[in-house]
Structure 1
Amino acid sequence: MPWSPALKSSLRSGLHLERTVNEPLQVLRGMLGVGIVLFGALWLGRPSLATSAALGAFIAGTATYQRSFRPRPILALYAAAGLAASSFVGYLASPWPPLFVLVLALWAFAAGLAWVLGQTAGVVASTTVSVMLIIVTLPENVAQAAEHAGYVAAGGLVQATLAAVWPGRRWAARRDALADAYASLADYARRLRHDPFAAFDPDPLMNARRAAALSPAQARRRPAELAGMRSYAERIRPVLAAMADPRVGADEEGPQRDRARELMGAAAEMLDAVARSIRTGRPAAVPERTYRALTVPKSGPVLEGAGRQAALKLIGLLAEAADAVDAVDRGDPVGGGAAAPGHLPRPSLRQLLPALLHALRRHWDWSSPVLRHAVRLAVVAALGEILGRSLPVSHGYWAPMTAVMVIRPDFSQTYTRGVARVAGTVLGVAVTTAIILATHPSVWICAALAVLSIGGAYLLMRSGYAAMSTCITGYVVFLLAMDGTGITSTVADRVLLTLLGGLIALAAYAVFPTWQTVRLPDRLAAYVEAGGAYAAAAVDAYAEPSAKGPAVVREALLGYRQTRSELGTASDQAAVEPVRHRGLGTAQLADARAAMAALGRAVMLMEAHLPAADAQPVPGAARFAAGLREQTARAARQIRAGGPVDLGPVRAQYEEWARELPAEDSDPASASPGALLHRDAGLLAEALEGLSGALADQ
């Protein structure tokens, strides 16, 4: 879209408020942590030390609210340690302005690179840079700088301790992630009743997988109802699709379709009950009619062929999932005393270092959005600091602080946060100043008001950045007012510097952007190549049946889901960018994504009937799988080069393979592995033809 509509959209998004708040008890925990260190530091030392301690507690508390499955105490300690180190190093360089600007730029660059570890690491690292700018102004010598760093670390330690002893609903995030996966399956089953080709959203299952990564200590304490349940959800997914699809499952209309709808309705009720049980840790009642619907009827409409196979698998998997939850409710060992299911290992900090180095090497490329963000962050931090020092105003650090907090790796968040940050800061300064001028609060009252302000920030963290910025601004101003810092003489300065910092961040992104729009062909190419690998892995499982086949298909599925998610994120971000890609149009991208969704559905049908390890190989399947890999990889190269895509050879190879099939596998009514694979492979070839049509004129 053009710049004007893009800026208007950013303005509306930045000032929009959501009716979503954090849990009050968890907010109270964060306020308590800040209050302990703030009032404790005031009682023990100077107001400036209390300010450092409170800022450390604020950063550590904020880290515990990030969307991460790592332990909250660990996040708090990491954040406080980073802030303590940055503030001490920053103070050592502060007597020499050029050196301090250089150190600030390098620290900001490192904080920008932290995005290779994910959004949580990137947000926390950026916050430590912005708060460092305040803390380095408080000490008067090196000894005091070390003391301030110690108080910052103490603030983080208090928040970490509170997060450990007052965790709230234990395992809540992991319970919710797994329950959401089952709830999404229930929703999928309901949608399949009315639309047998309904799309499946894998995001809840991807999030459940991320939540399943545990440390060895966590694995030993994991609630039994969270062990092994994700695998049932993954296995139920393709069976639902296979039973609903009229091309391979129940007839489109008639008694078989009625029976399929009855089964899918019962499956939805059963999956919802499992989701409620996982979320609450208590048994959830299942209506008796649901159990009756999931039994094989002695008379009446029944499914036949592949549809019957899918129905029997679905009934068995639902029974296993329900029995696993019921066993926990009764206190029985899961799996009848069998060994506890394994878990995905969560790397420790030491194990994370090699992965971090690998990620940095992968992103050490000028086209990487992370590297470009790190450069932008370093430049805006240094430029903001230079301008803040040059202007005849007090508290010049508000300019770089705002710039660092505003800028993000993508256009939408940067401009939305810029608008919200400026609006929130102006409102926060105005309200805070009015309160101070009207009441002339003492040091202790300022501290109490600061605690209330940070409580508001924690509570409104998910309501919108403008609301949170208002509270954070009030928190900072109340802290600075404790040591007698002037208010009336600096209100205009703070507002001016905030506007300047926001302008620097917005201008930096406009001058040195990372447009997702121009990256869409590369994202789509990766999606197509991963889809081809996923399809080929499924076909190979029929060509060479083995015990490892499902695991290989699963690994390919994860790659396919990841590239799908990356394309979806890039497409959403590109939709609000003020640029347009000349080669790949919006309609083409939408059609290509629809074709790839059809491909994923075809492979999901193959997954529903993967042969056993001792099954006979399907003749010709290996050759067809190799052709799939070759043709989709070639299509990916053409997409990146901007050339036309032709996947016609896949159809030709499929038809040649069909002529060689044995008589049993050629029968449409047969439920043999070869017949099922051939039928699903035809849907796969059809989906790739749709992809060729969508990208023929790229």
Structure 2
Amino acid sequence: MSWLRALRETARSGLTVERRRLAPVIAARGALGLALVMGFSLAVFGPAVAVSSAFGAFQAAIATFQRSWRPRPTLALASGGSLAVSTFLGYLTGSHTVLFLSLLLLWTFLSGLAWAAGPTAGIIASSNVAIMLVTVTLPTSVATAAGHAAMIFAGGVVQAALIVLLPVRPWGAQRDALADALAAEADYARRLRHDPVAPFDPVPLMTARSAAAVTPRQARRRPAELHGPRRLAERIRPVLASLADPAVGVPAEGPQRDRVRELLAAAGEILDAAAHAIRHGEPVRSTPAAVAALRTPDTGTILGDRAHRAARRLAALLGDVVETAEPRTETSPGEARTNPGEPGPGEPDGRTGASPEEPGTAPTPTPAPTPATSPTPRTRPTLLRLAPFVLARMRAEVRPGSAVLRHALRVSGVTAAGYLLGLALPFGHGYWAPMASVMVMRPDFSQTYARSVARFGGTLVGVALATAVVRTAHPGTYLSAGLAVLCAFGMYLLMRTGYAVSQVCVAAYVVFLLGMEGSGVGQTVRDRVLLTLLGGLLAMLGYALYPAWETPRLRGRLADWLTTSGRYAAAVAARYADPAGPGSPDVREALLAARAARVAWHDALGRAVHEPVRHRGLSHAAAEGAGHALAEFGRAAMLLEAHLPERGAPPLPAAAGLAEALREATERGAKAVRERKAPAWDDLRETVGAWDAEVTDPLLRKAARLLLAALDELSAALADA
């Protein structure tokens, strides 16, 4: 992509306004906290302290809107506390340009490295630097600086207290993540009716897994219906795929396919009902038709043996989903549970299903998870215990080639340059340039350029509107404070609709806030617009001169995905040689690693699309073909996982050789991908040929061929790169 086109695309992206579901009650709570802090500060300490406390409460509320699974009060306290420390240290050095510049460089560098801990930490750290540049100009002595820092922290405390006292949809983020995972499974089931080899995006399942990790305090308070459905959704996905795929399931057309379509439609309806129930904390309302479709007695006479077992297992898993998704209520004696997993007349319970190798084995019922029998929840360390892990991640990024290190160096250099230019230019309020730079800069090209354009456009509109109000209405101190709170409410309400929209509210908020403190409004308007433009241009220039392009690293990302996918397929194949049951931890760990590599590849590909650089050995067409091939490879391995033998089933010795061949072949192939060569699979082809001769199970033979065919497709895609 050329530079001109890249600039045009990023500008359009930055100015885009999206339609999103708004949260007016949560926005009103954040604005209430800001109003309480400002009102108290104005009445007791005066406008200068009120401005400091307002920035603390404002930033603490913004922190609670970030995508994080930590308790919202914790985020508010962490934001307020870190901003208070930043402001106090900034004031101690503010009267000495060299000392303050050194602190600014160090603080900005650390804020850049904070992105290693995740976007929430990076955003909070960057905001602290930006607000520090403003608040250090307000105090007049060390004692007043300490008072300002205390009031900033008090703003965070108030916001945290309001979250506790006025809860709005507790566990809402976790409910949404789990409901989205079940809804994605429902959509997958419906798509499989029309496309038996439809792809599945595992991101909702990965998000739900991340949301399921809780701190010890959260574990004691988590609603029971958030405990088990995610694990069941993970087990449902391969069952759906194996039931629908013609290669290992039922024929593409005919009575068996019609029955499978009915089962998939019923599964979609029940999963949607469970998702709605979890999202809103309501009972599951499954449609009678969907329940009847899963319990139809003649399914066993229509479907073949393996497909029938998959259908029974699907019904049992869906029943467990319904049971675990129900809010925990007392059941009256004799009350029957309408459960799609309950067997129909004359049909055995398929909650675990018979071993694929022993069709006649009677299945053993397994009760649905309950709070008493659920596995130990995934734990999330508290903020204090998290600190060593964050420091370790930051240290790990201090290495050549790290995109996070390049971002830290880039943002610290640009911020220092903006600060010095602001001092040198005859505008006054020179901190607006570095503040704009640190707020718009991100580790990737597209976000930095899009946010630069959006910040300038939003600032221009917000300052113009706020200035018009000030010059026509001449608001006093308290009315300016009220208008600032109103702008903050608009920012909280609209911040997810687009960066440009939120910056309109932020710009107006700052104008009213500084007007309340007594700064010249006319001067603020002129300086903010020009210096914000300068800060945005410096950010864009800094990325152009010291970039961290994703395009040259695409082959490495693809090689990582190939390696992890090969290990996942090898782990699955090895379980046939040494049966350990469907819940094998090594298979699970390999699957999670493959998913993480897949998401990293797609994220990198999405960023590379907008970069103004050559593809350097991997064209867009080759990348698309290679991604499709590896997705098919993962799907073939998942089909094998769907029919893993139960613990104690007869082993299949040939599977050990296939597992080793898969692992070695994919590792060699990954090396070839990094070296810009098309990988060859001759050794694996020989192993699959011997596998066909030794193995009689048609599913296992077909799955091995699918794995090899996907790797051949990968080689064909890379051959034309």
| Fold similarity call, TM over 0.5 | yes
Match of 2:637 in 1: 603
Q: TM-score, normalised by structure 2?
A: 0.93
The answer to whether 1:680 aligns with 2:714 is: no
Looking at structure 1, the residues matched to 71 and 369 of structure 2 have their Cα atoms a distance apart, in angstroms, of 28
Looking at structure 2, the residues matched to 383 and 359 of structure 1 have their Cα atoms a distance apart, in angstroms, of 28
Q: Per-residue deviation at 1:300?
A: 8.8
Looking at structure 2, the residues matched to 234 and 624 of structure 1 have their Cα atoms a distance apart, in angstroms, of 25
Gaps of 5+ in 1: 669-675
Q: 5 Å matches for 1:163-562?
A: 163-298=163-298, 302-326=302-326, 328-330=328-330, 335=369, 338-546=372-580, 550-562=584-596
Q: Residue type matched to 2:208 in 1? A: A
Flag the 1:180–1:218 CA change in 2: closer, same or farther, 3 A. Answer: same
Looking at structure 1, the residues matched to 41 and 105 of structure 2 have their Cα atoms a distance apart, in angstroms, of 31
- Mapped contact 1:21–1:459 kept (Cα < 8 A): no
Q: Residue type matched to 1:176 in 2? A: D
Q: Per-residue deviation at 1:327?
A: 7.2
Flag the 1:667–1:160 CA change in 2: closer, same or farther, 3 A. Answer: closer
What is the aligned-residue identity percentage?
A: 50
Q: Per-residue deviation at 1:358?
A: 3.0
Flag the 1:581–1:155 CA change in 2: closer, same or farther, 3 A. Answer: same
Q: Residue type matched to 2:714 in 1? A: L
Q: Residue type matched to 2:83 in 1? A: L
Q: Per-residue deviation at 1:299?
A: 7.4
Match of 2:678 in 1: 644
Flag the 1:336–1:410 CA change in 2: closer, same or farther, 3 A. Answer: closer
Looking at structure 1, the residues matched to 629 and 582 of structure 2 have their Cα atoms a distance apart, in angstroms, of 29
- Mapped contact 1:327–1:334 kept (Cα < 8 A): no
- Greater Cα offset, 222-231 or 287-296: 287-296
Flag the 1:115–1:299 CA change in 2: closer, same or farther, 3 A. Answer: closer
- Mapped contact 2:283–2:327 kept (Cα < 8 A): no
Q: Residue type matched to 1:77 in 2? A: L
Q: Residue type matched to 1:395 in 2? A: H
Q: Per-residue deviation at 1:142?
A: 0.9
Looking at structure 2, the residues matched to 239 and 228 of structure 1 have their Cα atoms a distance apart, in angstroms, of 18
- Greater Cα offset, 9-18 or 250-259: 9-18
Q: Per-residue deviation at 1:406?
A: 1.0
Q: Per-residue deviation at 1:580?
A: 1.8
- Greater Cα offset, 639-648 or 51-60: 639-648
Q: TM-score, normalised by structure 1?
A: 0.96
- Greater Cα offset, 264-273 or 549-558: 549-558
The SS at the match of 1:16 is coil
Flag the 1:335–1:633 CA change in 2: closer, same or farther, 3 A. Answer: closer
- Mapped contact 2:557–2:600 kept (Cα < 8 A): yes
- Mapped contact 2:582–2:645 kept (Cα < 8 A): no
- Mapped contact 2:227–2:371 kept (Cα < 8 A): no
Match of 1:567 in 2: 601
Q: Residue type matched to 2:712 in 1? A: E
Gaps of 5+ in 2: 333-366
Q: Residue type matched to 2:143 in 1? A: A
Looking at structure 2, the residues matched to 581 and 451 of structure 1 have their Cα atoms a distance apart, in angstroms, of 48
Looking at structure 2, the residues matched to 667 and 631 of structure 1 have their Cα atoms a distance apart, in angstroms, of 24
Q: Per-residue deviation at 1:96?
A: 0.9
Q: 5 Å matches for 1:45-194?
A: 45-194=45-194
After superposition, give the CA deviation of every residue in 1:633-675 in whole Å (9 maximum; x if it has no partner).
111112112223112321221112322x1xxx4253xxxxxxx
- Mapped contact 2:259–2:299 kept (Cα < 8 A): no
Match of 1:3 in 2: 3
- Mapped contact 2:324–2:370 kept (Cα < 8 A): no
Q: Per-residue deviation at 1:269?
A: 0.8
The SS at the match of 1:578 is coil
Q: 5 Å matches for 1:578-593?
A: 578-593=612-627
Flag the 1:337–1:381 CA change in 2: closer, same or farther, 3 A. Answer: closer
Q: Per-residue deviation at 1:285?
A: 1.9
Looking at structure 1, the residues matched to 329 and 271 of structure 2 have their Cα atoms a distance apart, in angstroms, of 16
Q: Per-residue deviation at 1:229?
A: 1.4
Looking at structure 1, the residues matched to 649 and 491 of structure 2 have their Cα atoms a distance apart, in angstroms, of 60
Looking at structure 1, the residues matched to 38 and 577 of structure 2 have their Cα atoms a distance apart, in angstroms, of 67
Q: Per-residue deviation at 1:473?
A: 1.0
Flag the 1:295–1:221 CA change in 2: closer, same or farther, 3 A. Answer: same
Looking at structure 2, the residues matched to 130 and 337 of structure 1 have their Cα atoms a distance apart, in angstroms, of 45
Flag the 1:299–1:529 CA change in 2: closer, same or farther, 3 A. Answer: closer
| Alignment counterpart, residue 666 of structure 1, candidates 677, 696, 700 | 696
Q: Which runs of 4+ in 1 moved over 6 A?
A: none
Flag the 1:299–1:581 CA change in 2: closer, same or farther, 3 A. Answer: closer
Q: 5 Å matches for 1:3-42?
A: 3-20=3-20, 22-42=22-42
Q: Per-residue deviation at 1:284?
A: 2.9
The SS at the match of 2:399 is coil
Q: Per-residue deviation at 1:627?
A: 1.3
Looking at structure 2, the residues matched to 337 and 465 of structure 1 have their Cα atoms a distance apart, in angstroms, of 42
After superposition, give the CA deviation of every residue in 1:290-312 in whole Å (9 maximum; x if it has no partner).
12110142379621032222112
The SS at the match of 1:454 is helix
- Mapped contact 1:21–1:461 kept (Cα < 8 A): no
Match of 2:687 in 1: 653
The SS at the match of 1:247 is coil
Looking at structure 2, the residues matched to 340 and 234 of structure 1 have their Cα atoms a distance apart, in angstroms, of 15
Flag the 1:144–1:185 CA change in 2: closer, same or farther, 3 A. Answer: same
The SS at the match of 2:302 is coil
Looking at structure 1, the residues matched to 330 and 247 of structure 2 have their Cα atoms a distance apart, in angstroms, of 42
Q: Per-residue deviation at 1:21?
A: 5.1
The answer to whether 1:695 aligns with 2:718 is: yes
- Mapped contact 2:445–2:607 kept (Cα < 8 A): yes
Q: Per-residue deviation at 1:551?
A: 1.5
Looking at structure 1, the residues matched to 461 and 563 of structure 2 have their Cα atoms a distance apart, in angstroms, of 50
- Greater Cα offset, 392-401 or 302-311: 302-311
- Mapped contact 2:117–2:394 kept (Cα < 8 A): no
Looking at structure 2, the residues matched to 452 and 299 of structure 1 have their Cα atoms a distance apart, in angstroms, of 61
Looking at structure 1, the residues matched to 562 and 214 of structure 2 have their Cα atoms a distance apart, in angstroms, of 31
Looking at structure 2, the residues matched to 31 and 336 of structure 1 have their Cα atoms a distance apart, in angstroms, of 40
